Amino acid sequence: MDHLVTSRSLPTEGVAVKSPPARTPSADTALLGVYEISKILTAPARLEQTLANVVSVLSSFLDMKLGMITILDQHGNPEIVATSGWISHDHSKPIDTLPAKVIDRLVATAMPVIVEDVTNDSLFATAAETITQAVGPRVSFLAVAIKSDSRVVGTLSIYRTADEFIAYTFDADLRLLTMIANLIGQTVKLHRMFSADRQRLLNECSTLEKALVSCMPKDIRGERPDVAGIVGESPAIMEVLNTIAVVAKSNSTVLLRGESGTGKELFARAVHDLSRRSAKPFVKVNCAALPESVLESELFGHERGAFTGAVAQRAGRFELANGGTLLLDEIGEISPSFQAKLLRVLQEGEFERVGGSKTLKVNIRFVFATNKNLEAAVDKGEFRADLYYRISVVPVFLPPLRERPGDVSLLARNFIERFNSENDQKHQLSASAIETLQRCYFPGNVRELENCVRRTATLAPAETIVDHDFACASGKCLSALLWTGSASGAFPQTYPESANMRAAPPADIAPARRAEAAPVPTFPEEPRPPLDAAGEEEGRGIASSRKMIDRESLIEGMEKAAWVQAKAARLLGLSLRQVNYALKKYNIEIKRI
């Protein structure tokens, strides 16, 4: 087998050297390893998860300290990094142990690279210290190229520590790594073909839907509700707008539900503007931004002398919104005691100012908004059931941006026009820039897209914004760390699934240079619960996924799960990334059982 060797040449042919059994996988062991990995590669899963499972299984068949699979984007930068056995002591990342020179050599030659001691090789001059700290002293390195057709699309590498290294062991390892790399290359090719076909079909469907709607008579298709500030023509957004147009005609209470950044305030304004109360005030209050005492005064108003600083009588938001619409945003964050006070206003339409005894009556259209799982909060006793039934009269679920991919280009161009108008600029988005945005997952939804466009326009060196101008092209997109996580989980089984979404992000997600995939447990992995039950599973967990778990609970959960991270994550109600982060934060060494 052709390969590159650095630091020391291998023994010549005919030299008999006995190989340590643990270092040289037998033919049966190698065959079993290829068999298990082939099952993983053919199972339906996200590419990041598949590769993480592969490298974890590989670690059980090879005596290695660190294994890594790196998939490169179209520019040759690491796009997906899957590792096993990584423990950092200085906040470094696994990709820091793989110098760019090694990647360049593998891409240029497509031949294996062998280094017997990374501390004595010029290829690892910049990474030797990081490797020895994370792996140990006297580290050897083996790497093979992952090819799709004739093009190198990634690398497969392992690190070992030992006193002696011999040619026979390296050759046996390289044969196994090359077979696995070939299988990975085909899997990457299929995933990318699937992702491209999926995007093409989405674009074709969007085009056909627009053409079909345009051919319909106006009395059949109906006109898009005229709502200021809401941009989008996707079926998901049109369904919400049509629902709001119908709901706005009545005085029923509306509960807007959706992930953060989906534009709940804009849709609340739409409910008001399309109603018979449009000429009356539209008042909004963010319940999470004010402490309970201040929130009570803000909503109910107060009498003079009711508390220190109340030098005059003040009307509250209930009075100011009389006859119009009141939006109470983040309603899931109010305290139980304030929930009881709010319930009376909803039931009777009357209240007293703080420090007053006069009962005031109001006629208000209430619109509530939240990104919290209210059903889980009611189940835990954090939210009153009677208040829940009062506010959830007409629930409207706002689609996240990933469920309306056809609207990304419309929103991006709208945001760039606003930026140009506000800053007297003439920026425009190129086709490559739009393509990059459409591949992004945007866990922060429309708000994150707007921030991304504004940030890029602010820093762009030219008027035409191209794909290289975005932060993800230079590895500075911090929200890429959220891509491997699921959605907010705010709406478990009660959240209606749309026909084409609620799926994990595509394999060819926007390039995130050196984005790190969370390590996964050793094979075999237990089946995961369905995605629509993730919120319910989390609600039964030992710890909330939004809180940092303490060291003792983490160790207890890992021991109960036999040190299988995926199983521990389900027991603790955390994600794999959170478990992995906590293990590294507390410097807990993974036990192999």
490 and 551, same domain (yes or no): no
pLDDT of residue 496: 36
Residues 450/414, Cβ–Cβ less than 8 Å? no
Closest CA to 191 of 2, 43, 357, 387: 43
Q: Could you tell me if residue 196 is inside a domain?
A: yes
State the alpha helices, DSSP H only, in 65-112.
100-109
Whether 42 has a pLDDT exceeding 50, the answer reads yes
pLDDT of residue 449: 92
12 and 128, same domain (yes or no): yes
Q: Could you tell me if residue 593 is inside a domain?
A: no
Print the domain residue range for 444. Answer: 405-469
| Residue located via tokens 């035409």 | 464
**Average pLDDT, stretch 146-169?**
76
SS3 376: helix
pLDDT of residue 592: 65
Q: Could you tell me if residue 458 is inside a domain?
A: yes
Share of the chain above pLDDT 90, in %: 21
Determine which of 20-34, 490-504, 542-556 has the lowest per-residue pLDDT on average. Answer: 490-504
Measured CA to CA, the distance from residue 592 to residue 584 in angstroms comes to 16
Whether 141 has a pLDDT exceeding 90, the answer reads no
pLDDT band at 535 (very low <50, low <70, confident <90, very high): very low
Q: Could you tell me if residue 228 is inside a domain?
A: no
| Cβ contacts of 345 within 8 Å, gap of 6 or more | 318, 351, 362
Q: Could you tell me if residue 198 is inside a domain?
A: yes
113 and 151, same domain (yes or no): yes
pLDDT of residue 482: 58
| Cβ contacts of 530 within 8 Å, gap of 6 or more | none
Please give the single-letter amino acid code of residue 451.
N
Determine which of 22-36, 117-131, 576-590 has the lowest per-residue pLDDT on average. Answer: 22-36
pLDDT of residue 311: 74
Closest CA to 253 of 328, 320, 174: 328
Q: For the chain, how many structural domains are there in total?
A: 4
455 and 579, same domain (yes or no): no
The mean of the pLDDT values for the chain is 77
Give the Cβ contact number of residue 137 at 10 Å.
Answer: 10
Whether 9 has a pLDDT exceeding 50, the answer reads no
262-302 pLDDT tens trace: 999 999 999 999 999 999 999 999 988 888 878 888 888 88
We report the CATH number of the domain holding residue 367 as 3.40.50.300
Q: Could you tell me if residue 330 is inside a domain?
A: yes
91 and 212, same domain (yes or no): yes
What is each CA distance from 420 to 13, 325, 427, 474, 546, in whole angstroms?
70, 33, 7, 24, 38
Determine which of 197-201, 216-220, 380-384, 470-474 has the lowest per-residue pLDDT on average. Answer: 216-220
365 and 461, same domain (yes or no): no
Closest CA to 284 of 229, 345, 331, 215: 331
Whether 214 has a pLDDT exceeding 80, the answer reads no
392 and 410, same domain (yes or no): no
What is each CA distance from 63 to 170, 406, 422, in whole angstroms?
12, 48, 60
499 and 569, same domain (yes or no): no
Residues 436/453, Cβ–Cβ less than 8 Å? no
Pick the residue with more confidence: 23 or 391? 391
Q: Could you tell me if residue 446 is inside a domain?
A: yes
pLDDT of residue 25: 57
Determine which of 241-255, 329-343, 493-507, 574-588 has the lowest per-residue pLDDT on average. Answer: 493-507
Measured CA to CA, the distance from residue 261 to residue 401 in angstroms comes to 9
**Average pLDDT, stretch 337-361?**
85
Closest CA to 260 of 477, 534, 484, 479: 479
433-462 pLDDT tens trace: 888 888 887 888 999 999 999 999 999 989
Which pair of structure tokens corresponds to residue 414?
Answer: 């709208």
SS3 51: helix
Measured CA to CA, the distance from residue 412 to residue 426 in angstroms comes to 14
253 and 362, same domain (yes or no): yes
Whether 239 has a pLDDT exceeding 70, the answer reads yes
116 and 254, same domain (yes or no): no
pLDDT of residue 159: 86
We report the CATH number of the domain holding residue 419 as 1.10.8.60
| Cβ contacts of 527 within 8 Å, gap of 6 or more | none
**Average pLDDT, stretch 502-531?**
37
Determine which of 21-30, 77-86, 438-447 has the lowest per-residue pLDDT on average. Answer: 21-30
184 and 210, same domain (yes or no): yes
Determine which of 228-237, 318-327, 426-435 has the lowest per-residue pLDDT on average. Answer: 228-237
We report the CATH number of the domain holding residue 105 as 3.30.450.40
Return the percent helix, strand and coil in the chain, to nearest 5.
45, 15, 40
Whether 209 has a pLDDT exceeding 80, the answer reads no
Measured CA to CA, the distance from residue 130 to residue 143 in angstroms comes to 18
pLDDT of residue 585: 79
Kindly state the greatest CA–CA separation across the chain: 103
Give the Cβ contact number of residue 202 at 10 Å.
Answer: 15
pLDDT band at 418 (very low <50, low <70, confident <90, very high): very high
Residues 70/154, Cβ–Cβ less than 8 Å? yes
The total number of residues shown for the chain amounts to 593
pLDDT band at 216 (very low <50, low <70, confident <90, very high): low
Determine which of 321-335, 361-375, 535-549 has the lowest per-residue pLDDT on average. Answer: 535-549
Measured CA to CA, the distance from residue 68 to residue 51 in angstroms comes to 9
Q: How far is CA 493 from the centre of its chain?
A: 20
Which pair of structure tokens corresponds to residue 201?
Answer: 């079909």
Residues 477/468, Cβ–Cβ less than 8 Å? no
Q: Could you tell me if residue 477 is inside a domain?
A: no
31 and 120, same domain (yes or no): yes
Measured CA to CA, the distance from residue 80 to residue 69 in angstroms comes to 8
